[in-house]
Structure 1
Amino acid sequence: MKKILLFIAIILVSSVLQAQKERQLIREGNKFYEEGKFSEAEISYQKATDVNPVSDKATYNLGNARYQQNNYEDATNHFKRAAEMSMNPKIEAKALYNAGNSLMSQEKYDESIPLFKQALRLNPDDADARYNLAYAQWKLKQQQQQDQQNKDQNKDQDKDQKEDQQKQDQEKDQKNDQQDKKEQDQQKQDQKQDQQQNPQQLSKEEAERMLQALTGEEKKTLEKLNEKKVKAASRVSKEKDW
């Protein structure tokens, strides 16, 4: 029985000493914070959370020190953690409010709005939370409009680029058509020249018409040539009969 009581006493004393160490580190951090020494304050608050990892006050103050050093993302995480572990509605509301501010500093207005609403549910009289909620909603609307304008602008640019490409393709096709026509014309010209250089053979009808157009003297000369051909053919035939 005595051992059990001794064990309980040791635990109680240890808890008291731990709580005292935590409070001492938080007070030290607060002093640095008020002096604007935010990096030193951060170290003290971090030591306090090492002593007591579930300390909502030390975690909340650590978020404030990170926020003052423009470390908004890390500050947001600490504020959210403080709100989750706190059993005090006032600390929870402040942590949610500060988390919303950290998100606004990152232009994450859509994420900050729900946090301001939660803070107002815990503390409906918080005028700053109400103002920041309205401001975040206004900035979100502006952001969405700007995103839509950028989207429309990109769409117009894509359309212009597509039209330019189509125009270039049409010009290219026209140039190719002109080149093809030029080559065809050149081919026809070459064929015409070949025909002029190599006249075709006269047909039988054309030859007869040309003979009919001959003068009398020309006919006599032609007839004599024909008689000589006939005689020469007769001699050849006789020689073959031998």
Structure 2
Amino acid sequence: MKKNSLIIVFLTFTTILFAQQPNQEQLEREARNEVREGNKLYNQLKFSDAEVAYKKALSKNPNYSKAAYNLGNTIYQQGRNKEAIANYELSAKATKDKMSKAEIFHNMGNSFMKEKQYAQAVEAYKNAMRNNSKDDETRYNLALAQKLLKDQQNKDNKDNKDNKDNKDNKDDKNKDNKDKDGGDQDKNQDKKDDKDKGKDKKDDKGDEKKDDKQDPEKKEQPQPRPNQLSPEQMKQLLEAMNNEENKTQQKLNEQKAKGRKVKQEKDW
């Protein structure tokens, strides 16, 4: 009885094992069929439909590098560069063939260029060159990405310097205006003191002196307001603000990276 039981268990396990293997092979076949369908739709420029087909292929075989690469190309054609980059990265990890890797990294570099992420584009093109050093198209894109990266860095440095200079000039202008206001206030105070002295002298000579109660028509003279800007100072401040707002910035003369490297992997 025990021997018969062991035989039955062994046969059952073997049946399950062999039953699972064809299922996996069937999924891989179905994934390849989905990729073929996706390629057909892609060549007809039906990118959204091709995207669905490639995603179906990956759902059946998540490690299918060709499906991930083709999906990245399809998404790239629809302008969703960040999603395309994620699929290129997945495909690059699963691909061992150097020529295929070179194409993947080239397209990844194109996606970074469209996002104006030039430092990442330079690195992607360098990876492409490491896998295929004879690709002139990649070499051109690498040189272009390096130039645009340098221009971007120079522009950032110039903007930072201009912002710092503007802040320093504004601080100096405020300080000058404050000093000038203080000087004007001192002059006005000196004039007031001289006027008061003259009035006291007149009172000492016996001239009639009227207080507020005797002369209700007498009004208090306006006093100088501290930190009040003169018309000339207001004009200077407005000119400084207009100069700052109207400052022109150099625009990068960007050139478009070549995108011809986007191709579909065949799977037949």
1:181 Cα deviation after fit: 1.1
Kindly state the Cα deviation for residue 194 of structure 1 after the two structures are TM-superposed: 3.1
Aligned ranges 1:34-73 → 2 under 5 Å? 34-73=43-82
In 1, Cα distance between equivalents of 2:187 and 2:84 = 70
AA aligned to 1:34 is N
Give CA-to-partner distance per residue, 1:128-175, whole Å, 9 cap, x none. Answer: 222211111111111112222222322332233223323322331122
Which residue of structure 1 lines up, in the alignment, with residue 228 of structure 2?
none
Counterpart of 2:36 (choices 27, 36, 39) is 27
Provide Cα deviations, 1:77-105, integer angstroms capped at 9, x if missing partner.
11111111223333222211211111111
- In structure 2, distance between residues paired with 1:9 and 1:88: 31
CA distance in 1, matches of 2:23, 2:97: 24
Instruction: Name the counterpart of 2:88.
Output: 79
Shift of 1:74: 1.1
Q: How much has 1:48 moved relative to structure 2?
A: 1.3
Deviations 1:159-200 (A, max 9, x none): 3322332332233112211221122112212322332239xx
Structure 2 CA distance, aligned partners of 1:10 and 1:87? 30
Give 5+ residue unaligned stretches, structure 1. Answer: 199-242
Correspondent of 1:180 among 189, 201, 205: 189
Aligned to 2:165: 156
The alignment status of 1:13 with 2:55, answered yes or no, reads: no
Larger Rg: 1
Counterpart Cα distance in 1 of 2:129 and 2:13: 47
Shift of residue 108, structure 1, vs aligned partner = 0.9
Corresponding residue of 1:239: none
What TM-score do the two structures reach when normalised by structure 1? Answer: 0.76
Unaligned runs of 5+ in 2: 1-9, 208-268
Q: Deviations over 1:35-91 (max 9, x none)?
A: 111111111111211111121111111111111111111111111111112233332
**Residue type matched to 1:123 in 2?**
N
SS at match of 1:179: helix
**Residue correspondence of structure 1 range 1-242 to structure 2 within 5 A:** 1-197=10-206
Name whichever of 73-82 and 178-187 sits farther off.
178-187
Structure 1 residues 133-142 or 157-166, which shifts more? Answer: 157-166
Partner of 2:213: none
CA distance in 2, matches of 1:186, 1:192: 10
Q: Deviations over 1:186-230 (max 9, x none)?
A: 2212322332239xxxxxxxxxxxxxxxxxxxxxxxxxxxxxxxx
Pick 1 or 2: higher relative contact order, CA cutoff 8 A, min separation 6. 2
CA–CA separation in structure 2 for the residues paired with 1:6 and 1:123: 47
CA distance in 2, matches of 1:187, 1:166: 32
CA distance in 2, matches of 1:14, 1:48: 15
Q: Given residue 52 of structure 1, which amino acid in structure 2 is its aligned partner?
A: N
| Distance in 1 separating the partners of 2:49 and 2:206 | 105
Aligned with 2:205: secondary structure?
A: helix
Partners of 1:194 and 1:171 in 2: CA distance? 35
Q: Which 4+ runs in 1 deviate beyond 6 A?
A: none
Q: Which has the higher helix share?
A: 1
In structure 1, what is the equivalent of residue 259 of structure 2? none
C-alpha RMSD of matched pairs (Å): 1.8
